[in-house]
Chains A and B, each alone.
Chain A
C-alpha cells in the first residue's frame, strides 16, 4: 500500500512517519514544502525526512501524482481543509491530524469532499484506542456502569515549543482550547455513541504565557443532548521545564461509582540525575500505532474507519461554540447536527 504523509508541521508527523516506515506492506512517501515558511531552527523538509529515513518529494503535486492509496495530513490546523480536499481529489483515503478543522464550515466541506470522491475520512484521535478507554466504553454499553451522570476531563500539556504555529492564531485557529478540547470531546463522543453536544460554555486566559497571541489556559463545559455534562480543562499548564509533555484523564460519575481513566498511567517513574528531572518510562500500548493500523485496515477492506469525519465535525462544532461562548461571555447553543444554531443553517 502506498501511503503519503503531507507535511511535518504537526510534530505527531514524526511518530507517524517512523511507524509507517516500519510497517510491512507499506510504502511511505513524504513531502513538507511549507517547511521553508517555518521560523529558523524548526525542523522540516528533506532534511527531516532524511533524518527519519523516509522518502521525500519537494511538492504536494508530486506526492499526490505518485498515486497514494492513503494520505496522512499533518499540516497546520487551518491548512487541513485544502490538503484533505487535494488528497480526496487524488482518490486517496484520508487520515487527518486533529482537530479536523478550525470551523464547522471547513469540517463539513472536508466531509463533503471525501464523500464526493468516495474516499474515507478519519480523524487522528488516538486516545480512543487506549485499552483503558475501550474497556470503559464497552462496559458502559454493556450496562455495567448504569447511567453516566457527569464527566470531567483534563488534557494538560506544555505550550507547544517545537513548532511556533501552534500559538499563531492564523495557522492554528486558536490556542489551548483548539489543541486540547477535542481529544476529550472525541472520547465522550465515542462513549455516548455520538449523542450531539447542545450547549457549550468556555472561559480562558493567557496568564501562563502573556506573550502568546492565543489562549493558553481554558475550561470548556459541554452539555450533551441526553443531559450529560462534560467539563474539560484544556490548559497548556504543564511547566515547560517538565520532562513529561502532559497527559489526559477522564473521570466519570456513574451509578456504579466514580471511575477515573488515565490512559498514560502505565509508566515506571523515577528521577534522572543527568536531566535533573522526572524520569517516566511509559510501557502502555502505542496508541498512534493502533490508530494507523485501524486506518490502514479500513483502507484495505473499504470499511469506514472510526473516528470518522462526522466525529470531526461534531468535535469542531464544540470548539467553535467554545470560542463564541468565551468571546460573548455567555453559554451558547449547538444544534443536534453539531452546528451552532445561530450560524443560521
Chain B
C-alpha cells in the first residue's frame, strides 16, 4: 500500500488528506501544529517528526506555507521520496529551480498542485481551446475573489508573496495553459489601508500576442468565494461565473448547522481527488500529469515578474525561451 506523508495541517491539507484517503492510500501527517486535529477529523496517522514521516512514506505532499517549501522538498528528495507540492512552488525562481534540481538529482517526481487545472468548468474551457473550438485565443479575463485569508502568513508578502503569488497564480497558470508563454506583463495593486482589503490587477501579453486580464481580491468584508472567466477567440467565446451557476437554489431552507434541507456539494468528484489521482498514477508509472514541474516553474517566473512590476510600477518582460513546457503537458 502506498503511504503519503502529508506535511502541514492548514486549509489545503484538509482538502488533500480527504483526497488521498478517498483514493485509498495510507496517510501519515506531520505539522508544527494541528496534525492530531486533522487526523481526528479525516483519518490517517500522526508522525512524530519530519524524519519519522519520511521513514514511513513513499510520497511526500507538501502543504505547508510557501516559504517552507524548498527545505521540505529538498528533504523529501534527499530521502528518495516522490513529491507533490502545493502551489506556488516557492517565493523565488531560485528556490524553485533548486527544488526541481534536487528532485531531478534524486530521481524522484515533483508535481505542483495547480488544482485549477482540475476544476471541471476550467477543464471544459481548456478542452474547448485544445479542440480548437475557440480558434485562436485572443482575450482571456479572470476574476478570483474571496475573503482575506485567516492565517496571518498569507498577508505577509515576505512569507506568501502576496495576493498575486498566492491567489492569482491559479489564473496565471490557467491563462498560460490556454494561450502559451507570457512575453510581458504589468501588475497594479490597491493602496494598502487600515481596512486590509487587497485588490490586484495583472495584465499578461502572451508570446502569441494574446492578452489576459486577471483580477484578484482578498476582501476584508466577508464575501462568498467567487471565480469567473471569459475566453474569447476567433471561433467564439466561453464564459463562466460561479455566482450564476447554482445547480440547486434554495429560498428558505436550513441555516448553517441547523436541521432541514441544505444542498451538499453535488458537482461530482472533488478536483483535489482528480488531481491527486493523476499525480499518484504518474508516480506509479502512468502518463504524465496535465501539470508538471516545468509549469510550476513557469508560474513562479511569471509571479516573480509580477512582483517586480508591482515594485517598479512598470512593464516587465520575460524571456520566453525559459518557458520550456515538458513534453506531454502542452
Contact = CB atoms under 8 A, between A and B. Distances in A.
Contacts of B232: 156, 208, 217, 235, 237
A189 interface: no
B158 interface: no
Interface string A176-217: 000000000000000000000001010111011000000011
A205 B209 CA distance: 6
A208 B201 contact: no
A208 B186 CA distance: 22
B223 interface: yes
Query: Taking each of A208, A253, A257, A329, which has the highest tally of chain B beta carbons within 10 Å of its own beta carbon?
Result: A253
A149 interface: yes
A207 B209 contact: yes
A201 B189 CA distance: 14
Contact of A237 (B139, B199, B212, B221): B139
Interface string A201-239: 101110110000000111101010001110101010111
A330 interface: yes
A223 B208 CA distance: 27
Contacts of A216: 138
Contacts of A256: 221
Contacts of A233: 139, 141, 213
A223 B188 contact: yes
A201 B209 contact: no
A207 B219 contact: no
B116 interface: no
B199 A330 contact: no
Given A201-B203, A221-B203, A235 B139 contact: yes
A221 B186 contact: yes
Contacts of B201: 150, 152, 221, 229, 231
Contacts of A235: 138-139, 232
Interface residues of B, number: 45
B184 A329 contact: yes
Given A217-B232, A238-B237, A253-B197, A201 B211 contact: no
B195 A258 contact: no
B197 A251 contact: no
Nearest to A208: B138
A114 B36 CA distance: 76
A221 B201 CA distance: 8
Query: Taking each of A221, A258, A330, which has the highest tally of chain B beta carbons within 10 Å of its own beta carbon?
Result: A258
Interface string B29-54: 00000000000000000000000000
A150 B203 contact: no
Interface of A: 146-147, 149-150, 152, 154, 156, 199, 201, 203-205, 207-208, 216-219, 221, 223, 227-229, 231, 233, 235, 237-239, 251, 253, 255-258, 329-331
Interface of B: 136-139, 141, 143, 145, 184, 186, 188-191, 193, 195, 197-201, 203, 205, 208-213, 215, 217, 219-221, 223, 226, 230, 232-234, 236-237, 313-315, 317
19 contacts: A149-B191, A149-B197, A149-B199, A152-B215, A205-B138, A207-B136, A207-B137, A207-B208, A207-B209, A208-B139, A208-B233, A208-B234, A219-B139, A219-B211, A227-B191, A231-B215, A255-B220, A330-B315, A331-B315
Given A150-B200, A221-B203, A253-B219, 7 more contacts: A149-B195, A207-B233, A217-B232, A233-B139, A239-B236, A255-B220, A330-B314
